[in-house]
Amino acid sequence: MSKYFFFFLLVPFLCISQDFSDDDYIYLKRHEHIKISLSDDKFDIVQNITEQGKFISSKNLYYANESIGYSSFSEIKDIEAFTYIPSTDKRIEVDYIETKQEFDNMIFYSDDEYKSFIFPAVAKGAETHLNYKRIIKEPRFLGGFNFAIHVPTKSAQLSVEFPKNVEIGYVEFNTESIKLEFKKEETATSNIYTWNAYDTDGYEGEDDSEAAMYYLPHMLLYIKSYETNDKKVNILNDLSDLYKWYVSLIDQVDTDSLENVYKITDEITSSLDSKEDKAKAIFEWVQNNINYIAFGDGYGGFIPTGAASTCETRYGDCKAMSNLLYEMLNHVDIEAYRTWIGSRNKPYSYYKVPTTSVDDHMITAAIIENDTIFLDATDSYVPFGMPSAFIQTKEALMGIDDKNFKIIKVPIQKSSQSKTTITSNITLENSTVKVSEKRALQGYDKVEFVSDYIYKKDSKTEEEYLNTTLALGNNKTNYTNISKTNFDNKGIPLILEYDLDIDSYTRNIGNKIYINLNIDRSLSNSDVEIKDRKYSKKIDYQFERDFTTNFQIPEGYYASYIPDEISFEDPNYGFKISYARNGSVITQSKSIYIKTLSVKKDGFENWNRFIKSLRKAYKKSIILEQI
């Protein structure tokens, strides 16, 4: 679901300092004043934005690039932009502003546009000045404000002026890390709320962390209600108002000409008896036959395309796919509902912020034998019964009818559902390690592999792709006899088989040969740099990896050393590696599990102990000596 918000999800922040001399660019001020007027039940909302920046050095002049975003729900007016040179008291106007549209090769279409320009003549000491107005046309999209962004800010101010018969709501996020001042003023007809934050440092992103808004100090604003003629009119007073508005949009969905939709539904379910089998067949048909194209054009970013049109054109966005599933499932008497949901990048709850800021996606929820199954056909590879990985833990707003809805949290999928088993048979021939390996991937492990293969393989050969993706052995590993089975069958594991020749892998010291059976060293580089780390580590999904590696001892040799068992056990993650000898075959059994979606800052040391212990285990080798 494409939506436009009037604050930008810039990257993370750090507090508190007043000396910005080591920075390349700072904001002297970022001020936003919102004036809300109401006349004849119609809102007039104007944002006045003022920004003043300064180049402390001339190292990063790319800060001269500026863009102002907007959509059909807003309008940008009265742009004033110039560079001021204090040393010469010279003002240089921006003389060219380009309008750009978000449009990417038919994969994504949006009515979002940008006013882009470059501040001229920037150098050390130069100041950039920007003033403009944004007219907000939809009162439910009041948006919010970031008190800290990607560069330091001396003064960040948000103020909102609104009539006394209007009630606004606001929710602060992560402001405990800054000193935020609040002031309330009144005029004869209006209330004015003002928030000020001073000397906020720039927010720097971190690898594998949660989205910026989980940490960025910011505020969401929304209009709750207004009074007119002794009557209260709700806009977004609570969740029921948001749902009421969503229903008004769903009422505009084209429900005509569904004959072909029903015909296809009957054809793919006629031979099936159970509701689960029918739902699975319908879900996989939509996955396989409807091409996902993200689309956001005005209210078209909120109103699903009719099922007949989606079925005929064979493409649609999340809303269109959700609506098509809704029609097909209900046609065969499977209880199904259109469902709004936010991705894991959004830290908001419907209960705390009853606004459109909470969700950015739409799926279908089916009820089969009292189980709620979350169906997201935009993920072409996720198996039936599993939600897309990026909506785990999120609140789903399930629309029951015109007045009733339910909030259901999408459960975390168990690690056992994304279990990969790897069986390897290793021999040593003339100092070359030869491996015959078979991988069985299921759940999110399979989804990730198939998705990456389709979208990231590009012009690489199979061997080149596997070499960079699996990274087995060393940089001299060669792949042959590569085969894939069940690549397109979502319900059963993907079987990936190949042979490896690995040169220069063993070590010969004297009359001893050292061979390491850990040709796969998953997670070995996953430790966290604790010293400067501030935010939690995000994990996309829980998983398990089970390895069975059989090594055939070469004729004329015996194993003089076999590593002892080593393990690390924690409720959230761990591993175990053990060895057993059966005649001339040594079998290594290795299991790794991750049973959490996040490692908090106070858990970093334990996580690093886990990775350190795993790396230590990976270094263990078998020693062979001649008989």
17 has a pLDDT exceeding 60: no
Q: Which of 377, 359, 252, 368 is nearest to 311 (CA)?
A: 377
The label of the residue with tokens 């269109």 reads 320
Under 8 Å between Cβ of 625 and 560: yes
Q: Residue 3 pLDDT more than 60? A: no
Which helix (H) or strand (E) element contains residue 244? helix 239-250
Question: What pLDDT band is residue 457 in, cutting at 50, 70 and 90?
Answer: confident
Nearest to 303 by CA among 314, 316, 313, 288: 316
User: Which token pair is 596?
Assistant: 């959490």
The tens digit of pLDDT for each residue in 307-341 reads: 999 999 999 999 999 999 999 999 999 999 999 99
Residue 329, φ and ψ in degrees, nearest 5: -65, -45
- Please report the pLDDT score of residue 298 as a whole number: 57
Give per-residue pLDDT as tens, 539-568: 999 999 999 999 999 999 999 999 999 999
- Give the closest residue to 573 by CA, choosing from 598, 548, 536, 549: 598
Q: Per-residue confidence at 110, pLDDT binned at 50, 70, 90?
A: low
- Quote the pLDDT of residue 302: 83
The shares of helix, strand and coil residues in the chain, as percent rounded to the nearest 5, are 20, 45, 40
pLDDT at 294: 79
Q: What is the 3-state secondary structure (H, E, C) of 476-496?
A: CEEEEEEEEECCCCCCCCEEE
439: Cβ contacts below 8 Å, ≥ 6 apart: 420, 421, 422, 494, 495, 496, 497
pLDDT digits (tens, 9 = 90+) for 42-77: 999 999 999 999 999 988 888 999 999 988 899 999
The pLDDT value given to residue 6? 36
N-terminal to C-terminal alpha carbon distance within the chain: 68
Range with the lowest mean pLDDT among 79-88, 460-469, 607-616?
A: 460-469
pLDDT at 569: 97
pLDDT tens-digit series, residues 483-513: 999 998 998 999 999 999 999 999 999 899 9
Instruction: Report whether 384 contacts 447 (CB < 8 A).
Output: no
**Structural domains for the chain:** 25-237 (2.60.40.3140), 243-409 (3.10.620.30), 416-626 (2.60.120.1130)
> In the predicted model, what is the mean pLDDT of residues 591-601?
97
Q: What would the mean pLDDT of 407-433 be, rounded to a whole number?
A: 97
- The reported pLDDT for the residue numbered 4 is 35
